[in-house]
Amino acid sequence: MLERPQIEQVRRFNRTITERVGVLHDHYLGRDRPIGEARLLWEIGERGSDVRRLRERLGLDSGYVSRLLRALETAGLVTVEPLPSDKRVRTVRLTGAGRTELDELDRRSDEMAGSLLEPLNTSQRARLVSALAEAERLLTAGTVSLDPVDPDHPDAQHCLRSFFAELGERLDTGFDPARSLLPDAGELRAPRGVFLVARLHGEPVGCAGLKLPADAPAEVKRMWVSPATRGLGLARRFLTELEARAAGHGYDTLRLDTNKVLTEAIRLYHAYGFTEVPAFNAEPYAHHWFEKRITAGEPV
């Protein structure tokens, strides 16, 4: 349950920051466009982008993005063209004038950031920068979605391939999926299980599966978080979601296994309330087995 003082503090911060950085004006940073158009130029960048990625990255609906792009096209700052290899995909690139405008936006943005820091003393600057870094981390964590998908979905397969590749690099013995007790995809589909994918700005950044066998405790399988998004609390969030789903199916025990080199995971499991138990399977890559008693809910 959110507390009222927390809500009020967030709202005060929103009012302060929007006023201080000038997003209330139609001429952001003194240029002839609002912040929405400027933000789109930054996201397009020197490498360009496809329209779908812009929508997902910024969390904007297609109609609004189209209006922003039309304004930028009319100003001669971008070109929007179909991808030669797939006419269904529209790509956006900066023109020469667009690159010049982006350089000017960068210069003015640097000046604006400096104006926030300059009035402060050295200690205050360090505190502000540290607080902003923490706020960015937490706000980023809040934008990650956990979505149930089919284990054969491309995003699920991307995460699993990345997971297996990391295991291959970290494990002393390497990792061969053919030797591991990998669950069959059917074991991670309803009603026998579930497979979750974490997405940040539409891109897959983690996964976790849950087996719901008829004659054994619920079991967490193949939990992985992208190195780029570690520190956002996604692994704990996966465990919380999977525990809730297991409890909702009437299970009172959640278990998992892991390799000895995955020390971060082992620390997390201990902190989350798991207890080490004797081996409950013959997984050749496992050195530690854990269980946690959970409160079973009504079967669903």
Q: Is 52 helix (H, G, I), strand (E, B) or coil?
A: helix
The span from the CA of 145 to the CA of 296, in Å, is 25
- Under CATH, which number does the domain 144-293 receive? 3.40.630.30
The span from the CA of 192 to the CA of 185, in Å, is 10
pLDDT at 298: 54
Q: What is the DSSP string of 112-178?
A: HHHHHHTTS-HHHHHHHHHHHHHHHHHHHHHH-EEEE--TTSHHHHHHHHHHHHHHHHHSTT---TT
CB 256 within 8 A of CB 280: no
Cross-strand partners of 78: 94
CB 90 within 8 A of CB 50: yes
CB 183 within 8 A of CB 160: no
4-119 and 144-293, same CATH topology: no
CB 255 within 8 A of CB 288: no
Find the distance separating the first CA and the last CA of the chain, reported in whole Å.
24
Chain segment 172-218, per-residue pLDDT in tens: 999 999 999 888 888 999 999 999 999 998 899 999 999 999 999 99
Give one word for 103, left, alpha or beta, with left for phi > 0 and alpha for psi -120 to 50: alpha
Domain residue ranges of the chain, discontinuous segments joined by +: 4-119, 144-293
Mean pLDDT of 276-287: 96
pLDDT at 191: 92
Mean pLDDT of 85-110: 93
Reply yes or no on whether the pLDDT at 299 is more than 70: no
Query: Which has more pLDDT, 59 or 41?
Result: 41
Mean pLDDT of 87-114: 94
Task: State the average pLDDT for the chain.
Answer: 93
pLDDT at 22: 82
User: Of the ranges 18-22, 49-53, 223-227, 265-269, which one carries the lowest mean pLDDT score?
Assistant: 18-22
The span from the CA of 142 to the CA of 66, in Å, is 26
Q: What proportion of the chain, given as a percentage, has pLDDT over 70?
A: 99
Chain segment 223-279, per-residue pLDDT in tens: 999 999 999 999 999 999 999 999 999 999 999 999 999 999 999 999 999 999 999
Q: Are strands 253-258 and 218-225 parallel, antiparallel or unpaired?
A: parallel
Q: Which of 71, 6, 83 has its CA nearest to residue 36?
A: 71
The CATH T-level fold of domain 4-119 is Arc Repressor Mutant, subunit A (1.10.10)
Q: Is 83 helix (H, G, I), strand (E, B) or coil?
A: strand
Q: Is the dihedral of CA 159, 163, 165, 169 positive or negative?
A: positive
The span from the CA of 269 to the CA of 239, in Å, is 9
Q: Name the range with the highest mean pLDDT among 43-57, 149-163, 175-189.
A: 149-163
CB 210 within 8 A of CB 245: yes
